[in-house]
Chains A and B, each alone.
Chain A
Amino acid sequence: MIGGMTMSKIIAALFTAMTVGSLWMTYQGTGLQSIKTHSTIKQIRSTHAGSWGSSGGGFSSGK
């Protein structure tokens, strides 16, 4: 039977491995290469669309 002590050791070891692994992958940049794009116009449109309109109150579809 796996007692509580053994279980806590397994979980602690798992988290230690996860911590070391994540630090190493962060250091190496493994899987972290990416591109993020931004569109000011799209941002404005999406913010405006579906927001509470200023003319007369109520929900505005943005059309």
Chain B
Amino acid sequence: MSDTKSVYSIKCTNCAAPLEIRGGGRVTTVTCQYCNSVLDMTAEYKVLSQFHDKYRPPVPFKLGMVGEIKGVEWTIIGWVSYRTTDFPTERWSEFFLYSPLYGYGWLIYEEGLLSFSKRVRDFSLLKWQKDGSSKVQFFRKSHYRLVEEPYDIEIDFVQGELSYVAKADDLIRCWDYDGPSHKSITIEKSGHELEAYQNEKLNRREIYDSFGVAKDKQVDEKLGAVDSMFDEETLEASDESRRSFLGKMAILIVVMILAIGYSFVSSKALLQIDANQPFTQSIRVDSSAFLSKIVIKAPTPKILDTIKLDIYNGATLIFTIDKSNLYSKSGYIGKTWDKGDDEATIYMKLDSGEYRVALGLSSPLSANDKVKIVIQEKVMRLLYLVIVLVLLFISVLVSYKSSSRKESSEAKSSGKSKYLWWFLAVLFGYFMFGFGSMVFLGAFYLFASNIGSANSSDSDDWWDDDE
């Protein structure tokens, strides 16, 4: 677990206390834990400055702790405590992290709130300056909005190794931009130096456990009543809401699958006749649920054109169809069959009750020429159900994919599989409902991918930059 290969000890040139050096080649200063002297590691540990009588905030982390953040093992090698100049009691700590493979990062701790921060070099600071530090920034496919006016902070306390020379009361100006999925960007200006950092909130329980913080030292997030009202949800709440969301979606999917399954057994035959002469037959529709299905099938188109089928409710004609006319009292169904057709299937609403079905033929049929008339009730058409089921599946998939990508930094191939799923969904939609559904699915893709991108827009290249 711990990386002790590159650890070596020195003696403080001011107080002779033993100091352990754990960081890599970019570490330039180390601050003695005992006398608070800042030693220059590039000039024979010369004392650069001292942090005497500085407030040492209580924190659950200490130098040398090793833990995992987003799948990468980090060692805490330095600690800087900051305070704002406007509200000096507002303090937080930033722990300088080192990984032999991934370089440097920061673990930010503020009263139980934990974030991971890493310097990003692909944020265009030049453009940011030219835009006059505009309120909205676009970075790695996501928008970030300026949270508040820029504020000044100063260094309060330093311990351990750093990659720069920290001086007491060093003034730094900060701009905070909030982005999607608990991510933010901080622009820091110190003297002539300008740097951009991307931050991401962390699950504190996971981090505490990973770094081996004792249970009695694990601090939960402290929020005042006003903060609680306006602060964003915690990551734990986010995970919980994701689980709750997936649970609800699963229930809806089960409901839809049960409904679709029921459609296979719901229908009931009311009439099935192979006729070659006119007839009148009574039928009873037991339920008003769903639709009734009428199938008229003739051996040839010419024979179909001789057919006239009427349905009466009492003395009222409620449905009639022949080669030139289609009428239904329950509303518009469509146009009758075309010349050349030999089969017609009609879906129509028949409320429960007694009906009389009458088949008429404009010319007599031979004994071998029989027309088939089939009427069924409680026939479910699955148009809406299948569309909603497909959308449910896509939503669950997007949510699941984005959450698994969030949890694992090894999901670099999921971008390709996403397109495979969408391709299959569009293909399925096309075969089920034709070209129109492709347009619909395309529009839904844009909607769903926005949900997804809020969770996963740039997790793939999160580790790419070095300090």
Contact = CB atoms under 8 A, between A and B. Distances in A.
B333 A34 contact: yes
Interface in B244-294: 244-245, 248-249, 252, 255-256, 259, 289-291
A9 B241 contact: yes
A28 to B, nearest CB: 8
A37 B344 contact: yes
Interface in B210-262: 232-233, 237-238, 241-242, 244-245, 248-249, 252, 255-256, 259
Given A12-B248, A15-B252, A18-B391, A42 B232 contact: no
A35 B241 contact: no
B340 interface: yes
Contact of B249 (A7, A15, A39, A42): A15
Contacts of A61: none
Interface in B48-78: none
Interface residues of A, number: 32
Contacts of A21: 384
Contacts of A9: 241, 245
Contacts, number: 130
Given A33-B332, A35-B334, A4 B342 contact: no
B241 A4 contact: yes
A29 B381 contact: yes
B118 to A, nearest CB: 22
Contacts of A18: 388, 391
A37 B391 contact: no
Contacts of A41: 301, 340, 342
A3 B233 contact: yes
Interface string A14-45: 01101101110111110011111111111000
Given A5-B241, A29-B349, 16 more contacts: A1-B178, A3-B233, A4-B238, A12-B244, A15-B249, A15-B391, A19-B252, A22-B385, A27-B289, A29-B291, A29-B347, A33-B332, A35-B326, A36-B344, A37-B341, A38-B345
Interface of B: 178, 181, 232-233, 237-238, 241-242, 244-245, 248-249, 252, 255-256, 259, 289-291, 301, 326, 328, 330-338, 340-349, 380-385, 387-388, 391-392, 395, 399, 451, 454-455
Give 9 nearest A-B pairs by CB, closest first: A22-B384, A5-B241, A38-B343, A8-B245, A35-B334, A37-B341, A29-B291, A37-B337, A32-B381
26 contacts: A1-B232, A5-B233, A8-B245, A12-B244, A12-B245, A15-B249, A15-B392, A22-B387, A22-B388, A23-B385, A26-B381, A26-B384, A32-B291, A32-B383, A33-B330, A33-B334, A34-B334, A35-B326, A35-B335, A35-B346, A35-B347, A37-B337, A37-B338, A38-B341, A39-B338, A42-B340
Interface of A: 1, 3-5, 7-9, 11-12, 15-16, 18-19, 21-23, 25-29, 32-42
